[in-house]
Structure 1
Amino acid sequence: MKVISTNTGEPKTVLWKGKEIKTGIYKYPVDLPIYLGKEDVKNDHVIDRRYHGGSNKACYLYAADHYSYWKAKYPNLEWNYGMFGENITVKGFDEKNIKIGSVYRLGSAIIQISRTRQPCFKLGIRFGDQAMVKQFIDSLRSGVYLRVIEPGNVSVGDTFVLEKEHKDGITITELNILRFHYNKEHEDLIKKALLDPLITEEDKKYFRKRI
């Protein structure tokens, strides 16, 4: 897996249901390395810290490989990396193969795969179509949030070096299924997730409600 774009954004004011709101979802590629801190990315802007930033959502990553899928659905948009609000765009990233809790060295930082994304209306604003929110969930092309174990710089061209795989963990795709597409067929999987010490307590609270 290789970083092909690092992205940050300035706060932007948009109209939502007749009211002005601020969002940090409009991110664009930058030429310099980005610094991953414990709570967020330096010089980036997190507007609503109830849902973004913090130890379990310090940085958001998205797959460059998914862009062609979305470009086919939204061909009239002006496309650039950072379209999904991600700080890091990665080539070779596949949610089906990456385990929640696995640890990687990336640039001078050490990061851990943490949580999947639950998109909100701001993603719909970014794409000019609120149907995008459900499309995003249904696609299972979620990207992932990172926990930063050791802060450091990440640059275009950096590769992910596996430090410790959470071999008995569940994948990002499986976590997406439990969050958004759970049914009785997934009962064993949800029990496995509840016993996993590297699944966040926020996710476990949601799973307990489901069962």
Structure 2
Amino acid sequence: MLVDALFAGKPKAFGPRQSPSSIIKRPFEQLHIEIDGAIEDEQGNKKLHGGPEMALHQFSQESYVVLQNEFTAIAEKLAIGSIGENISAPLMNDRNVFIGDTYRIGSVIIQVNSPRAPCVKINQRYGFQNIDLFIGEQGITGWYFRVIETGIMNVGDEIKLEYRLQNTKSIAEIMRLVREKGSPSSEKLDAAKINGLAAEWRRKLTKST
């Protein structure tokens, strides 16, 4: 697997409240990765986005096709890079990327730690309602990485899986479990114990609904 594209952006006034957001990003050939993410990237609301547990985001190229087929009226807007991801690559998706997966890209080592919780800014980005709800229902949120080793990644770099846990779950499976109603099941409680899962998602899995 190779990196197809890299994206980063700076906060700009966005949405009906004109609050700062970096969901609109532009392509880069190279990103310099620190513990909190790419130097070239910056979050508009640092209480809700960014930081070590949301350092980098990847969204599946296949998921764009799903969105284009569902939201045909805005299909042309649903282009790779438009949902705010930092990394784009073929073959990787929410079904075959697992919590704890550790990848090397260039000189950087990163670890998958959680899905991305879809929010209303996605609807605002495309000027269309309920895209965030559809993304959650379909389990095509994309995923966040934490940074294990800082460095530089480039378009065209190999994405090499360095390590995968034996007892883990995919991003889509985590989303399915979080969306299940009722008291935490044994499957939810087991998922909450996966090494490397972000603390926020442990709480979501163990919270009664």
TM-score w.r.t. length of structure 2 = 0.90
Contact 1:96 1:174 in 2 (8 A): yes
Distance 2:195 2:174 in 1: 14
Alignment map for 1:10-159 (pairs within 5 Å): 10-16=10-16, 19-30=17-28, 32-72=29-69, 73-76=71-74, 77-159=76-158
Runs of 5+ unmatched residues, structure 2: none
Q: Give the deviation of 1:71 after TM superposition.
A: 2.4
Contact 1:7 1:81 in 2 (8 A): no
2:7 is aligned to 7
1:163 is aligned to 162
Q: Give the deviation of 1:198 after TM superposition.
A: 1.9
What is the SS of the residue equivalent to 2:6? strand
Runs of 5+ unmatched residues, structure 1: none
Q: Give the deviation of 1:75 after TM superposition.
A: 4.7
Distance 1:110 1:175 in 2: 23
Q: Give the deviation of 1:119 after TM superposition.
A: 1.4
Q: Which amino acid aligns with 2:109?
A: I
Out of 179, 184, 204, the residue aligned to residue 202 of structure 2 is 204
Give 4+ residue runs of structure 1 displaced > 6 Å after superposition: none
Q: Give the deviation of 1:22 after TM superposition.
A: 1.4
Distance 1:66 1:52 in 2: 22
2:190 is aligned to 192
Distance 1:78 1:204 in 2: 34
Contact 2:59 2:141 in 1 (8 A): yes
Contact 2:183 2:207 in 1 (8 A): no
Cα deviation, 1:35-68, whole Å, max 9, x if unaligned, reads 2210121111211112211111100011122222
1:174 is aligned to 173
Instruction: Count the aligned residue pairs.
Output: 207
What is the SS of the residue equivalent to 2:4? strand
What is the SS of the residue equivalent to 1:177? helix
Q: Which amino acid aligns with 2:180?
A: Y
Q: Give the deviation of 1:86 after TM superposition.
A: 0.2
Distance 1:195 1:65 in 2: 29
What is the SS of the residue equivalent to 1:147? strand
Distance 2:165 2:131 in 1: 32
Indicate the percent of aligned positions where both proteins have the same amino acid: 26
Distance 2:201 2:182 in 1: 18
Q: Which amino acid aligns with 1:3?
A: V
Cα deviation, 1:136-190, whole Å, max 9, x if unaligned, reads 11121111000110012121122221111112111111111122x2146982321
Distance 2:162 2:183 in 1: 33
Distance 2:64 2:197 in 1: 28
CA RMSD in angstroms comes to: 2.0
Identify if the C-alpha distance between structure 1 residues 67 and 95 changes in structure 2 by more than 3 Å, giving closer, same or farther.
same
Q: Which amino acid aligns with 2:5?
A: S
What is the SS of the residue equivalent to 1:13? strand
Distance 1:80 1:34 in 2: 21
Q: Give the deviation of 1:98 after TM superposition.
A: 1.8
